[in-house]
Amino acid sequence: MLIDQYYNETDNKVTFTRLQASDFAKHIANDFNPLHNIDAKRFCVPGDLLFSLVLAKYGCSKQMSFTFSGMVTNKVTLNMPVDSPQFSINGDNDKEYLSIEHSGENTNNSELIDNLTRSYVTFSGHTFPHILVPLMEAQGMMINIGRPMVMYKSMMIELDRLDLPNVTLELDKEKTTFEVNGKRGNVCLAFNLIADQQIIGKGEKHMVLSGLKLFDKTAIVTLCADYELMKKNFFG
C-alpha cells in the first residue's frame, strides 16, 4: 500500500524513523512544517501519517473520527490494538496518542484507501499557506512567526458509499471557519469527498493555533516566500 515504506512493524508494534516521517510529509503530503524535518529539535511524526496508518491497518469505514492527544516521535513505539468500534493507540510508555471511532460498512479496498490517503494528506499539507493565510488575514490575526504553534486536534470523515475508489477532496469554503479567542484560535477545515463528479461524503479537520498576534502582511509575505523557497530547494 501507499504508506508501507513509511513505518516499521513487528508483532503489532509500530515505529517511525525520522527519515520515514519526514519523507512522508514532504513527498506524499507536500507538507514542509519544520517539526517534521529530520534535524528538528521538537521533531514529531505527522498526524496525517498516523491517520494513513489507521486506514492501512483497519480499513476505511463510512463514518470515522480521529482525536490526536500526543506528539509521536521517532523514540515512541505504538501498540496496534485489536479492531473495535472505539479504540486507542497507545505507546509502550502507556501514553495515548490517538483515539479512533468508526461505524458503518468497512472496506479494505487498497485502491480506495490509497486514493483517499493521498487526496486527504495532500489537501491537509496545503493548509499552509493556501488555506490558512487567507483565514488569518480575514480575522486580522496570525501565528507567531518566531514560534509557530499549530496543533492537529481531530478530524472526521463520513462517506455515503465505498464502491467508488477514485476519491478526491475539495475544500468547502462556506463551512470552513477560523474562530479567535484572545491569543488562541480554532480552525475547522471542511471538505467534500468527490468521486465520479459527485459528492459522496464530507469531512472536517480541526486545528488549534496558539500564541496569535495581530496580522502583519509584510511578515506573512516573507514567511510564505521562505516556505516556498524551502520546498524549491528540497526538490532541487
Q: How confident is the model over 86-93, as a mean pLDDT? A: 97
The amino acid at 88: S
Please name each of the domains of the chain with its CATH number: 4-235 (2.40.160)
pLDDT at 19: 97
HEC profile of 207-229: EEEECCEECCHHHHHHHHHHHHH
Residue 24 has pLDDT above 80, yes or no: yes
pLDDT at 78: 98
Q: How confident is the model over 206-228, as a mean pLDDT? A: 93
Q: How confident is the model over 68-79, as a mean pLDDT? A: 96
The answer for residues whose C-beta is within 8 angstroms of residue 198's C-beta and 6 or more apart is none
pLDDT at 95: 97
For 44-72, how does the pLDDT look when each residue is reduced to its tens digit (9 = 90+)? 999 999 999 999 999 999 999 999 999 99
Ranges of beta strands (E only) in the chain are 8-10, 13-15, 60-68, 78-79, 86-91, 96-107, 141-142, 149-159, 168-171, 177-181, 184-195, 198-210, 213-214
Q: What is the pTM of this model?
A: 0.93
What's the rounded Cα separation, in Å, for the pair 211 and 145? 10
